Structure 1
Amino acid sequence: MTTSELITDYKNKLALKLVNTDGLVEAMGNDDIEEPDEAIYTYIFPYFHIPDTIEAAHSYICFKVNMTDRSNVNDWYENFTLTVWVIVNQALMKMKGHGGATRVDYLSGLVEKELHGSTIFGIKQLKITSNIEDNMDLHHRVRIMTFKTQDLDDLVGCG
């Protein structure tokens, strides 16, 4: 499998993992989703995207997967970086319950619990390496999380 095919596979696995994370899609606060898998390509994107015409306040989760380099220990391992953006419209930031967490923080916590330590990608666990809050624009708050892991290069042959 090429690295590009592997990245596509990882993105598909991640999208399914997110929509199947208990309570995640409901906590996004997007009232027009009836079934969690409807959120893929509507509010959960395997690339950075916010729809051009936004008529109501929504929450989004976007992610990208990159093979950044090879291990400096040996060439058999590829290093992968997963970047997740949790984006919430200011109008949806306040949540009831959940310990007073803002929606962007609560959603980020659900994503981190699901991904940190996971072996969804590769042979090693995903490890969170950064978790940064920022403003995208006047109306959207964002939390950007970065995870790293390693996988064996499929192109390495034995024998």
Structure 2
Amino acid sequence: MQLEEFFDYKNQLVQDLLTNETIVRLLSDDCVRINNPETLVYNQVFPYEYIPDTVERGQTFICCDVDVQRSVNKTFLLPVLYVWVFTHKSKLRLPEGGVRTDKLASEIAKAINGSRYYGLGELDLYSAKRFAPITDYQGKVLTFQATDFNRFTPSGKPVPSNRKQG
């Protein structure tokens, strides 16, 4: 793996989010269509854990990050993908009813749970928990688990001279 999957997973997730019209609409204050969803990256969608320092106006955010919880053996790793969804309390209630962060979490899970673009096999939703990063903001943190290769090829390092050959 050599950890380049961190980069790939985050890029894939950002792409999956920004190409989903429902998710993009939920990021806008009044749930209208956003013509250039890529403008949301590093403004409302972050490929790292982000907490706004000063809040000039209430907004909705999605952040993501990847950890490797453990190595199963020399062959497999267990990466964990975290997705934080949070919004200002003034934006929680959706115009049609319901809670914005609940709807966003649901749409994100629909978009990526079971995806084969993250690791080997399918990405699995592990948990969805409450998340309150700062005053007046509430949300959810979604945790997804995957399995990926630890090493793709032999390391290229020479075999120690004291190792038994053949």
Give me the TM-score of the superposition, normalised by structure 2.
0.83
Provide the residue aligned with 2:39 in structure 1: 38
Provide the residue aligned with 2:2 in structure 1: 2
Mark the CA change 1:89 to 1:30 in structure 2 (over 3 Å): closer, same or farther.
same
Provide the rounded CA distance (Å) in 2 between the counterparts of 1:149 and 1:14.
13
Provide the rounded CA distance (Å) in 1 between the counterparts of 2:67 and 2:101.
24
Q: Is the 8 A contact 1:86 1:108 kept in 2?
A: yes
Provide the residue aligned with 1:130 in structure 2: 127
The answer to whether 1:104 aligns with 2:101 is: yes
Deviation (angstroms), 1:50:
2.7
AA at the equivalent of 2:91: L
Provide the rounded CA distance (Å) in 2 between the counterparts of 1:30 and 1:14.
22
The answer to whether 1:149 aligns with 2:146 is: yes
AA at the equivalent of 1:126: L
User: 1:35-81 deviations in whole A, cap 9, x for unaligned?
Assistant: 1111111100011113323211100001111122112xx42111100
Structure 1 unaligned blocks of 5 or more? none
Q: Is the 8 A contact 2:59 2:88 kept in 1?
A: yes
Q: Is the 8 A contact 1:133 1:143 kept in 2?
A: yes
Provide the residue aligned with 1:26 in structure 2: 25
Provide the residue aligned with 1:51 in structure 2: 52
Bigger radius of gyration, 1 or 2?
2
User: 1:92-115 deviations in whole A, cap 9, x for unaligned?
Assistant: 001022xx3200100111111111
Count of matched residue pairs: 153
Deviation (angstroms), 1:30:
4.1
Give me the TM-score of the superposition, normalised by structure 1.
0.87
2:49 counterpart SS class: coil
**Same amino acid, percent of matched pairs:** 28
Structure 2 unaligned blocks of 5 or more? 155-166
